[in-house]
Amino acid sequence: MMKIKLRLFAVILGFCSVFGLTAQNRITDENQVLWAPVIISTKINEKVALYTEYQWRRNNIGETWQQSLLRLGLTYNANKTTAFQAGYGWILTYPYGDYPLAPNGTFTEHRIYQQALFKVPLNAVGTTLISRIRLEQRWLAVLNADKSLKHWNYVNRVRIMQRLNFPFKVSGKDCYASLMDEVFIGFGRNVGQNVFDQNRLFGLLGWNVNEKVQLELGVLNQILQQGKLVTAKPVFQYNSGPVFGLNLKL
């Protein structure tokens, strides 16, 4: 028994050494960001809605650009708890941070996606678990040193989101608190270094102004691994900052 315990301790110590060495052999880049998403859902009929989203993402708490994202889609509401969506995204990623994703300048990404979303009521007071899985097919522009287009790099990605909503009232107004985490996994032959692409953790407070308008305020913590090595080391971005959101149902 003592030998087994010693071997187990040695294995655990070995894992700790490996993870410690891995952490020492990575490059870290910390940024203070500000994100402001606007989401509009326009009802076409009882089942179908047009989805429009714009993400205004800035670095240095708003001073410079980080990313601009426009997403358009169609939502099919199968029932009160299940919805499917497919659409297109146009993204501009700017050079930011000490190790920018786009060292040769701002690059474009075209993206199509498909997703399924499920809402599960957890108790009688309205606490809800929202689960979403999204598949993305992405075309990323690779630039030459003179910022001209070199070629398009095609990659696949799957995103898995879990969100807990906790409703409450303030002076008779409907509000809620949310905790949300989303992990991004790259796959396919062009995935590069970042099979683990990123993880996003949000803490949010929301206010249902009325049936059509919803405001959100919160904080974001993003860990992002770049697809390339710098001096033979992986680059991890640690981005954090405030989030201001507006949701409209038309």
Q: What pLDDT sits at residue 30?
A: 96
pLDDT greater than 70 at residue 6: no
Alpha helix (H) residue ranges in the chain: 2-24
74-117: pLDDT as tens digits: 999 999 999 999 999 999 999 999 999 877 889 999 999 999 99
Instruction: Name the strand (E) or helix (H) holding 62.
Output: none
Residue 89 to residues 13, 66, 138: CA-CA distances in angstroms?
45, 16, 9
Q: Which residue has the higher pLDDT, 9 or 27?
A: 27
- Residue 16 domain flag: no
pLDDT greater than 80 at residue 206: yes
- Residue 14 domain flag: no
* Rounded mean pLDDT, 217-237: 92
The residues, any chain, with a CB within 8 Å of residue 146's CB and separated by 6 or more, are: none
- Residue 56 domain flag: yes
* Rounded mean pLDDT, 206-216: 96
Degrees, nearest 5: CA angle 141-199-29: 70
CA quadruple 61, 62, 68, 73: dihedral positive or negative?
Answer: positive
- Residue 26 domain flag: no
Domain CATH number, residue 162: 2.40.160
- Residue 130 domain flag: yes
* Rounded mean pLDDT, 62-81: 96
Q: Which residue range(s) make up the domain with 130? A: 31-249
- Residue 122 domain flag: yes
- Residue 88 domain flag: yes
16-63: pLDDT as tens digits: 444 444 555 889 999 999 999 999 999 999 999 999 999 999 999 999
pLDDT greater than 70 at residue 181: yes
pLDDT greater than 50 at residue 218: yes
Number of domains in the chain: 1
2: pLDDT confidence band, cut at 50, 70 and 90?
A: very low
Q: What pLDDT sits at residue 15?
A: 45
- Residue 1 domain flag: no
What average pLDDT does the structure give for the chain? 90
